[in-house]
Structure 1
Amino acid sequence: MILTGPAIAAARATGEIAIEPYDPRRLSPNAYDWRLGETLHICDDALDSAQPTLARELNIPPSGFVLHPGVLYLGSTYERTSSERYAQFLNGSRTIGALGIWVHVSAPLGHQGHAIRWTLEIRAARPVRVYPRMTFGKLAFLHTLGAPASYQEHGLKYVTSRGAETSRLYEELPGGRP
């Protein structure tokens, strides 16, 4: 079951959901409109899943930054979100998709207890300018069924994420190196 905008606001008021910074005007009928953070990590070299990803960090200027096709950009949400009670589901918005921007396609599920600024995988179909703190997508909160299993308690590899983070798959692969 998905929470409505008023249910998200009520759960935030009781502390069951945290959204920082929070703006009640960003609530929609079934989600919260999240924003792009202020930095991008640009991964424009070849990628190897058994090696750490090389990326350069860029502060997005107020005048914006042009995304180009063929480049993987890692960004983060401006908002930090968490809930021990609800799972989270993050998507890009239809408006961003209509600009030819694919965002966060591979990992939309935020587990209970996952308190993060989400890492975003961003690709552009055509050159397109983006701006810091622009609305970029929707975050939904979902009721879970069964005993709660907190992401924090499991100590999974991205539990300490504070913003855009490159893949750490190399930690799991034989022959990979940290």
Structure 2
Amino acid sequence: MILTGPAIAAARAAGEITIDPYDPDRLSPNAYDWRLGDNLRICGGDLDAAAPTDSTEIAIPRTGFVLQPGVLYLGITHEKTGSETYAQFLNGNRAIGARGIWVHVSAPLGHQGHAIHWTLEIRTSQPVRVYPRMTFGKLVFLQALGATVSYQQHGLKYTASQGIETSRLYEEIPGGRP
């Protein structure tokens, strides 16, 4: 079951949901409008699933930064979000999609028990300028069915995420290179 905007506000007030910073004006009927953070990682070279990703981190200038097609960018949400009670689902929004930006298509599920600034996968169909802290998508909260199992309890590889995380898939590939 998806939470409504008023239910998100009530759950946040009860301490069941983390949204930091929080702005009640960013609530919509069934979601919270999240913003792009201040930094991007530009992934370069040939990507190899068995090796760490080469990337360069930049601060997005106030005047904006032009994303180019054919380049993988990793961004970060301005808001830190999470909940022990609810799962999250993060997507771009229609306005971003209508600009030819695909954001966070491959991993939209946020598990219970993991309050983070989300690392975002960003691609574009044509050059497009983005700005720090612009509205970039919608976050919904979902009521889980069954016994609650916290992401933190599992000690999964992204449990201690800080900042923009590149893929660590190479840790799962036999013979992968650290």
TM-score when scaled to structure 1? 0.99
List gaps (5 residues or longer) in structure 1. none
Distance in 2 (alpha carbons) for counterparts of 1:119 and 1:78? 10
Instruction: Give the equivalent residue in structure 2 for 1:158.
Output: 158
**SS of structure 2 residue aligned to 1:12:** helix
Q: Could you tell me whether the CA contact under 8 Å between 1:33 and 1:138 is conserved in 2?
A: yes
Distance in 1 (alpha carbons) for counterparts of 2:145 and 2:36? 31
**SS of structure 1 residue aligned to 2:138:** strand
Distance in 2 (alpha carbons) for counterparts of 1:160 and 1:72? 23
List gaps (5 residues or longer) in structure 2. none
The letter of the residue matching 2:116 is I
More strand by share: 2
Matches within 5 A, 1:64-79: 64-79=64-79
The letter of the residue matching 1:44 is G
RMSD: 0.5
Instruction: Give the equivalent residue in structure 2 for 1:120.
Output: 120
Instruction: Give the equivalent residue in structure 2 for 1:48.
Output: 48
State the 1:177 CA deviation: 2.2
Distance in 2 (alpha carbons) for counterparts of 1:34 and 1:71? 23
The answer as to 2:3 corresponding to 1:3 is yes
**SS of structure 2 residue aligned to 1:117:** strand
State the 1:30 CA deviation: 0.2
Q: Could you tell me whether the CA contact under 8 Å between 1:77 and 1:163 is conserved in 2?
A: no
Q: Return structure 1 stretches of 4+ with deviation > 3 angstroms.
A: none
**SS of structure 2 residue aligned to 1:8:** helix
